[in-house]
Chain A
């Protein structure tokens, strides 16, 4: 086993909203009335069915309620246990899935305010991601600007499967705002289910949806690179969260080869895809889709040709590892320090900020 070191940054923690009624205090009168009058109860995405084994490690599953809904549990099971200095909260509540941009906007605002009050205010190790109503670019940018003065928000959160490929120019105002405000864009596993959850249609099983997250990240990385997002926003960082990363080297071999062949189609892509990934893209550690032997994993890191791409994550409370084996076998102490401390700090400029509240 590779031991974690103290002072790490856990880049993927999932606090759960217990119930839609938990957001009522953060909604205005109109939306509070809508929720109660229309009998809305909860927004649970089938990307993570509450009782699915992947939604919670068995020993992290609470006797009652949703996994990840208790701060005390998160402190004991993740933050204290792995000596974490800073933990970034990425709420996966199904607010991106609704079809109305007005409703999405109201719920995102409530969710972000709930995160501040119920989590960030209660443990100064915690940081947050701004969840945005991607249904409306104007509203998404407004929500980023509303939350950004609180420096405890360290990134903007989007889902890997939405209405359109993420490189599309339609989304660029979001990226401009994030770059301007020093916020990386975190792209997390999960679908809004506005498109079939695989590129070849609807599968039969939950396991298929989960496996397909990795392919969705691959197509999004292609889109982000070839549309020219990083030519326009060279200082923008994007973090692929719960994406897996062992697919990256062969993906880049292929993208690089076709870029060399047909780059006349996208002439603004003026750097090789691997260079763009090195300067602008990062990946969370969990899940590690590799055999459990250290030898294979070290070969994979060698194929990645960089030790700066991976950021420590537990993916708490999702079940990605057992016991204390949050770090895969065979990592050198140097790489552990990079993954747990150096790489996250180089990715999230707001982690350096001492005075966090406006």
Chain B
């Protein structure tokens, strides 16, 4: 297979390797199938064995769109003691946290109770994953911070789980996925936003999830690449829903992070929203400001997979339209499309913007001293 590899300017990037960074998207995995059992009531052990998780898509085993790599993860990220990539703290420290000088690592567990149809099971698994994050990860390495995962389709139980973790410094955000039963602005999800605002946690919306809807507005596509590229379209519609339903009017202190869905599309979406809003505002009188203003004030963006135009000027112009204060560096470790910290940002960025991008924005958003 021929792969074209374009030369990229190294520039100032090489000097920043050892500067402390925040990695706002790390995926911890379970070493064994039963690793959550100590945190789950006995009833669920046999339930899972008998019925499985019963998600909002058809596959009992394996993803509907097979990944390009095992577990969508780097082949060099298998821990020496066994288990899948991302399942060993000591190997994560050795391979990623230490050499890249990660001062803050935000954990985003993906195989949780989200996207499960049985809401009692969803809530139980989410609570277990939250306990597991503390015991296996955050209590063992103070650089790591967890995300509160919640039964996303059951607002009441989700809000209770968020309030249960209030004030717990092991957690820095609440985690949702982009694809749910309904667009994220819908009122069934408002108890989640109310609780997050109340306890002062931002909400991360990570690309992925299944909610029973075809993953394009024209049905199910054929290929993994379509799902990968399509995450940014799902994220756009989810964000449009949040804005147009008035979530940020109702919860004015709520902050949200768009995780692993790109950011290059944000200016065009905001311009489109503003333009259409100018014509159709009578339909959404609950909005008191232009859509782009809600986005500018309430939304942060993780960087991986980094926008990668041929011209770095195009990248810089796009970031200026969004704001250097709104980007949060992320690697997506241990996934295959991991972004190498030293090579992500081209030369030509001021020291202040570089530091904001790699560390300061994240520390400020997540309240880390």
Contacts and interface: CB of A to CB of B under 8 A. Distances in A.
A174 to B, nearest CB: 15
A210 B269 contact: no
B275 interface: yes
A222 B230 contact: yes
A163 B219 contact: yes
A289 B275 contact: yes
Interface string B265-300: 101110111011101101110000000000000000
Nearest to B280: A207
A212 B222 CA distance: 21
A200 B318 contact: no
Contacts of B84: none
B307 to A, nearest CB: 5
Contacts of B223: 226-227, 265-266
Interface string B213-236: 111111111111110111011101
Nearest to A57: B279
B280 A206 contact: yes
Nearest to B6: A260
Contacts, number: 238
Interface in A292-347: 299, 302-303, 305, 319
A219 B221 contact: yes
A47 to B, nearest CB: 11
A129 to B, nearest CB: 19
B272 A211 contact: yes
A354 B237 CA distance: 45
Interface string B250-263: 00000000000010
Contact of B244 (A54, A162, A208, A215): A208
Contacts of B215: 199
A60 interface: no
Contacts of A196: 213-214, 217
B369 interface: no
Contact of A160 (B179, B218, B220, B308): B218
B225 A226 contact: yes
Given A199-B233, A254-B232, A289 B272 contact: yes
Interface string A257-291: 11111111111000010000000000000010111
Contacts of A246: 267-268, 271-272
B183 A249 contact: no
B314 interface: yes
Given A201-B180, A253-B308, A257-B308, A262 B228 contact: yes
B264 A253 contact: yes
A200 B183 contact: yes
B225 A250 contact: no
B186 A54 contact: no
B147 to A, nearest CB: 20
A198 interface: yes
A299 B320 CA distance: 12
A66 to B, nearest CB: 18
Contact of A195 (B214, B305, B317): B214
Contacts of B308: 253, 256-257
Given A166-B218, A260-B4, A254 B276 contact: no
A253 B307 contact: yes
B272 A244 contact: yes
A219 B214 contact: no
A90 B1 CA distance: 43
Contacts of A223: 216, 218, 221-222, 226
A17 interface: no
B181 interface: yes
A166 B218 CA distance: 8
Nearest to B266: A250
Interface string A216-233: 101110110011000000
A191 interface: yes
A336 to B, nearest CB: 21
Nearest to B240: A211
A226 B225 CA distance: 8
A202 B314 contact: no
Interface in B297-317: 305, 307-310, 314, 317
Question: Lowest 8 A-B CB distances belong to which pairs?
Answer: A250-B264, A289-B272, A215-B233, A219-B216, A198-B237, A247-B268, A246-B268, A207-B280
21 contacts: A164-B218, A165-B222, A198-B241, A199-B233, A200-B211, A205-B244, A206-B283, A212-B217, A214-B236, A214-B272, A215-B233, A222-B226, A222-B229, A227-B223, A253-B308, A261-B336, A264-B1, A287-B275, A289-B272, A291-B271, A319-B279
Given A168-B222, A205-B284, A299-B317, 20 more contacts: A165-B218, A167-B222, A196-B217, A198-B237, A198-B241, A199-B214, A200-B238, A208-B183, A210-B280, A211-B240, A212-B240, A219-B229, A223-B216, A223-B218, A223-B226, A251-B232, A253-B307, A263-B1, A265-B225, A289-B272
Interface of A: 52-54, 160-168, 191, 194-208, 210-212, 214-216, 218-220, 222-223, 226-227, 244, 246-247, 249-251, 253-267, 272, 287, 289-291, 299, 302-303, 305, 319
